[in-house]
Amino acid sequence: MAWDGRTLPVTWEGAPEIMGVLNLTPDSFSDGGELLAPSGALRRDVLLRRAEAFVEEGAAYLDLGAESTRPGAQGLPEEEEWARIQEALELLAPRFDVKLSVDTSTPEILRRAPPLGAALLNDVRALQRPGALAAAAESSASVCLMHMQGDPTFMQEAPHYDDVVAEVLTFLQSRMGEAEAVGIDRSRIVLDPGFGFGKTLAHNLSLFRALPRFVALGVPVLIGVSRKRMLGALTGRERPKARVVAGAVLAAEAARHGVAIIRTHDVAETRDALAMVQALDGPT
């Protein structure tokens, strides 16, 4: 079912909502190319099956990304990015009663996606590209503002902070203020500390331990650690798809810290981990 155009109701009391990742890219670090044919065309049947499985497994969001933001990733021409997003939105919006999220930093796509059913605009650059804030403000879609040091092409080349938690908090508070200044109500804002985006393992761990400080800002917090390098560094598992258990454990910990949305490639496993936390934290 297409989004009805109203402000997205995002709550963060109780169990987090799960966001299933649908990579419309040929070069994602985790599952790049699975949803695209060798020609670059969208594999519509595979996308539909993946989306249906995620919904059945408990996803409240489906996150569509057409441009890879893995370390070292190169940019994508705007029209090529939009062609993939447009086709996916038109395919999924009429079929699924979940919230569709679009992972993009491109102002024109931020503007064009909500009328096709995008309820959340998920920007790894926190609406910093020229025109992005204004484009996001034109709709009633919610926005996710993420922290990233640098750019995907070079963000993992010796990232440095004097105090990573303080600096990321300050950045997100500043971007939230900028968003509010152009008319994006605080009720529409979600924040993401940006695990793995211009951070070392030590930075990521410090940010994770500090999640209650981000939750204390008073808006929903989203995290995405699924299958990331930090999990491989901690477990010794080189293949991203072998890091599912580690990601589910961190999802459970994030729930206990008050995180509102868990972005993951592994919806069923994440749902099970969150169910265990909810059961243990419930009445005895």
**What angle is formed at CA 80 by the lines to CA 89 and CA 65, rounded to 5 degrees?**
50
Q: What is the pLDDT of residue 155?
A: 62
- Residue from 146, 131, 151 nearest 68 by CA: 151
**Confidence at 32, pLDDT banded by 50, 70, 90:** low
**CATH class, 17-281 region:** alpha beta
**For all residues of the chain together, what is the average pLDDT?**
89
pLDDT tens track for 107-144: 999 999 999 999 999 999 999 999 999 999 999 999 99
Instruction: Tell me how crowded residue 149 is: count the other CB atoms within 10 A of its CB.
Output: 19
Higher pLDDT, 189 or 12: 189
Q: Which of 70, 112, 228, 271 is catalytic?
A: 228
Confidence at 72, pLDDT banded by 50, 70, 90 = low
Helices 44-57/78-92 angle, 10° precision:
60
Contact 152, 73 (CB under 8 A): yes
Banded pLDDT at 71 (limits 50, 70, 90): low
Least confident of 17-26, 38-47, 48-57: 38-47
Kindly list the distances between the CA atom of residue 6 and the CA atoms of 89, 93, 140, 215, 220, in Å, as whole numbers in the listed order.
Answer: 17, 15, 6, 24, 18
Q: Give the residue-averaged pLDDT of 77-106.
A: 95
Q: Quick check: 102 and 22 in contact, CB under 8 A?
A: no
Would you place residue 13 in the very low, low, confident or very high pLDDT band (cuts 50, 70, 90)?
low
Q: Which sequence spans correspond to the domains of the chain?
A: 17-281
pLDDT above 90 covers a percentage of the chain that reads 77
pLDDT tens digit sequence for 144-182:
999 998 776 666 777 889 999 999 999 999 999 999 999
Among 166, 146, 159, smallest CA distance to 210 is for 166
* Active site annotation includes 228: yes
Q: Residue 263 catalytic?
A: yes
Mean pLDDT of 242-269: 96
pTM as predicted: 0.90
Q: Which of 50, 70, 111, 263 is catalytic?
A: 263
Mean pLDDT of the 75-86 span: 89
Res 30: pLDDT: 54
Rg (CA), the chain: 17
Q: List, in order, residues 6 or more apart from 36 with CB less than 8 Å away.
A: 24, 25, 26, 42, 43
| pLDDT tens per residue, range 183-202 | 999 999 999 999 999 999 99
Residue matched to tokens 């004097």: 162
Please give the backbone phi and psi of residue 281, each rounded to the nearest 5 degrees, phi first. -90, -5
- Average pLDDT value for residue range 247-252: 97
Residue 31: per-residue pLDDT = 57
